[in-house]
Structure 1
């Protein structure tokens, strides 16, 4: 019975995940920001986290509290994240663009540090790059499918191979397997279809530490902003604002940066 309940919970999770993926694919504009945007062009003096909700940017003539959009994997990028700490380049001219929602919430759209604009080159994506990008995807789903097989076999064996239990277990396992395979496919497809990578030599302009979106979680996610405004997630926490780095991204079909391949000091 415990195995059946566990598999049922897994089915609900994957149904929810699949709905999110399909929604994002069918509604690419559903999470767009309002059209109106405001710009600040002044030297940035300092920043600070306010109430774990937003970052206060201090300029010589004003200050503004901004929510920071961030996200990882296929999930919708959102700004309602619990911030832990943030640091940035200071006393540096910037061009900051933000928008304001009807609720009065200010959301950062772009933040460019003009003195540190990047040097970008394009190179073919190698098989080694693809392997690195797919390692964690394949490992994660491989472990999940192994766990699924173990729970299924254990549940059936515990029932002494009762035919009704076998039917119930298979009725749960088969949809979960199909849904997980679909998610695995969606995760792999952009990598297998990509042709190029963007190699960027630039400066880290911001380091933002975010608490994972669970009320009691103390695990931190690290996001870096590059001088051109691009923000991305990585497990590598070694870098700080002012570091010159070489960052390699898989190139999206529109030419923009997609998934992170590597980051290292120059």
Structure 2
């Protein structure tokens, strides 16, 4: 496909377009978040109130705007609708805007336009249910290999898959043998394998590092405020998703800075 015509569109305008379409995609993300953990179809039936099951009218299904106009309540039963719904729509829209602003109207943007909503879905599902569904991670590994081959080459993509998934599998086995319990879910292992396939081996190591640091800081903050303790289960998916986003937008800069500092020290 020839993207030369779209290259003339200014990045700020592309960001606006990405934001608008991202709102619509975010609305679909909410459907996936609500139904995937229950193993329900994301296509049928049509969207409905989670409380009274009344089908949502088209005018009440406009991302963010309908939520504000209805005061966050169902038109039919008046029950409060979770603010997570508009938050998911807004975050997805912002991520789409950022993707098209940074990468333009390219195949790279198309790849990340698929990845960003997936990361939002993973984050919310893992927070609410402490799982990352196989329906996301297993196709994600295949998608990661195909997209990663385009972005970084097949060898780098394959090594990234093996390094990411293999390292997490090794750590999970060691933890199980030492503690006699699962310290890392299978969803996390499959996720990092998919992320490694997409980003390559160097970037997936950055994702693991950033995910571990952010998770540790969150845990330390939770223990400081006495909302968590050493036995508290903290879903790792959201931190890996955040680290993946950082790596996509700033990974090359971070790795470049790290390598330059290593050269200076030597």
> Which structure exhibits the higher relative contact order, with contacts defined as CA atoms closer than 8 Å and separated by 6 or more residues?
1
TM-score by length of 1: 0.22
Higher helix proportion (structure 1 or 2): 2
TM-score by length of 2: 0.22
Structure whose CA Rg is larger: 1
